[in-house]
Chains A and B, each alone.
Chain A
Amino acid sequence: MKKLISIVLLFSFISFAFAQNATVKGVVKFSGEAPKPRLISMKADRQCDAIHGGKQVQAEDVVVNQNGTLKWVFVYVKEGVKGKYNPPSEPVVLDQQGCWYHPHVFGIMVGQKLEVRNSDPLLHNIHATPKKNKPFNIGQPVKGMKSYHTFDTPEIMVPFKCDVHPWMSAYAGVLDHPFYSVTNDKGEFEIKNLPPGTYTIEAWHERLGTQTQTVTVKAGEVKTIEFTFERKK
């Protein structure tokens, strides 16, 4: 009976603790006229071109959503995180499909497995060019191949490229905590389970650079913030 009480207590404590954790969410806006989408021709590799029926594909370097927000912005807690966080056991998947990386921008924790898949019936090389972590370059000549990699140092951001198909690019934000998010096609991001405290939040975009904001969150609070990137002159 004593044991049961302590378990119940423990559970209520844990749920209480989670309920007390804060959320920082919001959107990343784009101000000014949206640039014309850059179109990519895959003629350099006929097989890639054939997968897309000979049509050009829109680049993902600057994606302005219908509602005037920006997609593929990596929003994360830059400063203020205390304590140690263990990486989740499930891997992050980076898929190569249609001579394209899916997803284009993602977050991953130090020590977490990255699974790189080749879903194309042709060869790719996965070339990561980090400055703090060790670079690597793996060939995946056959469909269905999977390679695994882990990063050992936090780094904003690790670029990925395929040197066979120079238009293929992806970026990974490597962090030693789980407080990150990538804006979706409504420009939204959401960082959950933040312990109460003061944090520097940074928004990173591959072309438009970085912006930071400081937020203080109380227990259980849901704070909404906003970033606005301007078109580069």
Chain B
Amino acid sequence: MYSKNLHRFAILTAIFAVFLIGVGASVTSTGSGDAVPDWPLSYGTLFPRMAGGVLYEHGHRLVAGTVAILITILMIWLLRSKQPKYMKVFGVVAFVAVILQATLGGLRVLVVSNPNLQDTVTGLFSVGHVEPVRMAIAITHATLAEIVLCMTFLIALFTSKAWEKFKLNEINTGVKIAKLYTLTFVFAFIQILIGALVRHTQSGNIIPDFPLSFGRLIPPFGNLPYEPNAPFPISYAELQFKVAIHFAHRVWAFVVAGFGIYASVLAIKKRVELLSQFAKVWIVLIILQILLGALVVWTKLSVPITILHVATGATLFGTTLVLAVLSWKGVAVSERVESELVLTKSGG
């Protein structure tokens, strides 16, 4: 079943998917999301002059187009191959997700620049202003991107020779690691959602210091520095909300790190090939990610640092999924059935 070329192609697609998330992050960080008001064409052409913000926004469209083509080829390749059926399903899911992703990207632009569409959506969601809809689309777009990335990571894993070997080896790493990694994956997904919320509500620098918040362990929610005579004042409640989600992103990072590091230490101890290697990668990535997060605050949202933080977060998320899959595969069949029974019972 193993095809070297298919695997290499899947790896290439996965790398491009990470790159695409970085490019997407550069659009948000440079505030270039609206530099090209039309879609799918850019200023009525496929190749506008790549100056200023157009470079980021149109660059994002070009890279996204490339990823869409790669994923389409990958899907066709999988469908025509003798790969197991679930692989074909993954291929199709990745394809559908990337098409949906492109549509969301287009909607995000047109909801501002197309007055008719703007009226339609504000009417549809009965909101007075398009801003909450625009924000919701942007956050969904950012989150779905991570799903696309996960699909490409899984396909890359499943088409690898190491995976074939891993399946054949009679290994038992126990259900504990599997459960821990699954929790870490769910927690990491929540963290990505909070992160997207922080970014798209412009709350990235609302707490100016790190590791402390306004010089304290917990932000003083009742006594935040508030400027009622600001040129564009926000309500105190809105300020509290922004501080709350930013703070949640910080606290939650340590929850994800705690569970993930614990699972990874256990996994490394098992000395199972592939699993322990990915576990080591995970620990390196989480340290890097927290450091980048601190640097984002210290550099007051430096564009390259923020892009790296988003791209590393995505890679970490995909790696967590790979680890969760590997660790479930490492659970002996008898034990797996048992724990599934427990899960269904406790899940009600």
User: Contact residues of A with B, CB < 8 Å?
Assistant: 44-48, 122-123, 125, 127, 131-132, 134-139, 141, 157, 159, 161-166, 204-211
Contacts of B343 in A (CB 8 A): none
Q: Which 6 A-B pairs have the closest CB atoms?
A: A163-B35, A137-B113, A45-B51, A164-B52, A209-B229, A139-B37
In the complex, how many residues of chain B place their beta carbon closer than 8 angstroms to a beta carbon of chain A? 31
- Decide if B48 is an interface residue (CB 8 Å cutoff): yes
Q: Which residue of B lies closest to A135 (CB)?
A: B112
Contact B231 A206 (CB under 8 A): yes
Instruction: Name the distance in Å between A172's Cβ and chain B's nearest Cβ.
Output: 13
The answer to whether B131 touches A210 (Cβ under 8 A) is no
Chain B residues within 8 Å of A210, by CB: 229-231
Residues A134 and B43 in contact, CB atoms below 8 Å apart:
no
Contacts of B227 in A (CB 8 A): 209
B54: Cβ under 8 A from any A Cβ: yes
Q: Which of A123, A134, A207 is B54 in contact with, Cβ under 8 Å?
A: A123
**With a CB–CB cut-off of 8 A, which chain A residues contact B52?**
44-45, 48, 163-166
Structural contact, B37 and A137, CB atoms closer than 8 A: yes
Q: Are A122 and B115 in contact (CB under 8 A)?
A: no
For the complex, what is the distance from the CA of A131 to the CA of B130, rounded to whole Å?
A: 9
Q: Distance in Å from the Cβ of A193 to the closest Cβ of chain B?
A: 27
B43-A141 in contact (CB<8A)? yes
A207 to B227, CA, bound (A): 12
18 contacts between A and B (CB under 8 A): A44-B52, A45-B52, A47-B51, A123-B48, A123-B49, A127-B34, A131-B129, A135-B130, A135-B131, A139-B37, A141-B48, A161-B31, A163-B33, A164-B51, A164-B52, A164-B54, A209-B230, A210-B229
**A125 contacts which chain B residues (CB < 8 A)?**
34-37
Q: Is the CB of B115 within 8 A of A134?
A: yes
CB distance from A28 to the nearest CB of B (A): 14
Any A CB within 8 A of the CB of B146: no
Q: Is the CB of A138 within 8 A of B231?
A: no
Contact flag A134-B231 (CB < 8 Å), given A44-B51, A45-B51, A163-B53: no
Residue of B nearest to A211 (CB): B229
Question: From residue B60, how far is it (CB to closest CB) to chain A in Å?
Answer: 13
- Nearest chain-B residue to A212 (Cβ)? B229
Q: Is the CB of A205 within 8 A of B51?
A: no
The complex places the Cα of A122 from the Cα of B57 at a distance, in Å, of: 17
**Chain B nearest Cβ from A218, distance in angstroms:** 29
Name the residue on A nearest B38 (C-beta): A139
Is B32 an interface position by the 8 A CB rule? yes
Q: Is the CB of A207 within 8 A of B231?
A: yes
Give B119 Cβ to nearest chain A Cβ, in Å.
8
Closest beta carbon of chain A to B34's beta carbon, Å: 5
The answer to whether B231 and A131 have CB atoms under 8 Å apart is no
Q: Which residues of B contact A123 (CB under 8 A)?
A: 43, 48-49, 51, 54
Task: Give the residues in chain A near B37, CB-CB below 8 Å.
Answer: 125, 127, 137-139
**Chain B residue contacts of A134, Cβ below 8 A:** 115, 118, 129-130
The answer to whether A205 touches B231, judged by C-beta atoms less than 8 angstroms apart, is yes
B289 to chain A, nearest CB (A): 27
What is the bound-complex CA distance between A164 and B48, given in angstroms?
12
Least distance between B329 CB and chain A CB atoms (Å): 46
Known: A125-B34, A134-B130, A141-B48. 16 other contacts (CB 8 A): A44-B51, A48-B51, A123-B51, A125-B36, A127-B37, A136-B112, A136-B113, A138-B113, A139-B43, A163-B34, A163-B53, A164-B54, A166-B52, A205-B231, A209-B230, A210-B231
Q: Is the CB of A131 within 8 A of B131?
A: yes
Nearest CB on A from B43, distance (A): 5
Instruction: Verify A137–B112 contact, CB threshold 8 A.
Output: yes
Q: Tell me the minimal C-beta distance from A71 to chain B in angstroms.
A: 15
Decide if B201 is an interface residue (CB 8 Å cutoff). Answer: no
